[in-house]
A and B are shown apart, each in its own frame.
Chain A
């Protein structure tokens, strides 16, 4: 009993540490006088100071220089500057929309606060990193759902979506296998394949890692939960041949994602598959009772329903978060 408690505490501690690390990377400040920088809407940057700044200094456009980090030569044009009533927050309005995927650098000359100069500042404005991670997660789960918008993994999808309990079990197992194999593939790609120019082996290596992790889950599940193991039947082994589980490492390798983004993409893909399976199995359980024409019973009507779900998921397309 005590051992289990200890493990739980250690797990919680690790998660807490990870969240704190993320927060620390997300909200760093670069100058002692500047508390916060952030994007606001599509065309503005907000800068919060530690103390009120002088209005004559703050509203003078020539005191600010802003550019995107990769192109220091191209200065962005500031349209107007608004100082808040308490004098601590400055909003820079730009004439054109900002590309928020790039960090922006802001230079402020001789910041004047209460008649004294507190020195120049050179600060970075970027999207909150947690926001990026969250948008990767939701993007993989709903907006680019692998089943309904990319039509991957349909074999397992139709095979295990007849009963809700099997569908949910399959979705959870799939998510676990996906996260394990994607993280292994990511590490192997970043630290072995890429530095030693062995990229040409990526498909073989990724398939190998997937099948090995499926084999491990198979061995462990057989002992831990024999009922679920029986319910999966042949489909657990079919996870090896699932295209989603191979697509994710290839996408990770192509887009050069870092560890957190990879984790979020793998989790999003797995949860997206779980959502798809759950929706489909709910619909198919009702179809069992519905008065379906005999020629359409079984798989044909399931394909029609999947098409309708795909149409519904089309509503998410083009959405962007943050």
Chain B
């Protein structure tokens, strides 16, 4: 195959990988920093309910 095309494809993979890695770490840090305390009982009650609606 044309080496230029392969180069472009690899470039795209590297770019999207870098964006993913960068924002993945960024969002993980943000989620940690701005964590909201949720009462675990809310989840448990929702679990027990039928959930038809």
Contacts and interface: CB of A to CB of B under 8 A. Distances in A.
B15 A198 contact: yes
Contacts of A230: none
Interface residues of B, number: 14
Contact of A219 (B8, B11, B31): B31
A224 B19 CA distance: 26
A201 B34 contact: no
The interface size bin for chain A is 20 to 34
Contacts of A224: 34
B49 interface: no
If over half of B's interface residues share one DSSP class (helix, strand or loop), that class is named, otherwise mixed; here it is helix
Contacts of A16: none
A222 B16 contact: no
Nearest to B24: A212
Nearest to B8: A197
A209 B15 CA distance: 12
Contacts of A292: none
A223 interface: yes
Given A196-B11, A198-B11, A219 B19 contact: no
Contacts of B12: 198, 200-201
B27 interface: yes
Contacts of A216: 26-27, 30
Interface of A: 188, 192-193, 196-198, 200-201, 204-205, 208-209, 212, 215-216, 219-220, 222-224, 226
Interface of B: 8, 11-12, 15-16, 19, 23, 26-27, 30-31, 34-36
21 contacts: A196-B11, A198-B8, A198-B11, A198-B12, A200-B12, A201-B15, A201-B16, A204-B16, A205-B15, A208-B19, A209-B19, A215-B27, A216-B26, A219-B27, A219-B31, A220-B34, A222-B34, A223-B34, A223-B35, A223-B36, A224-B34
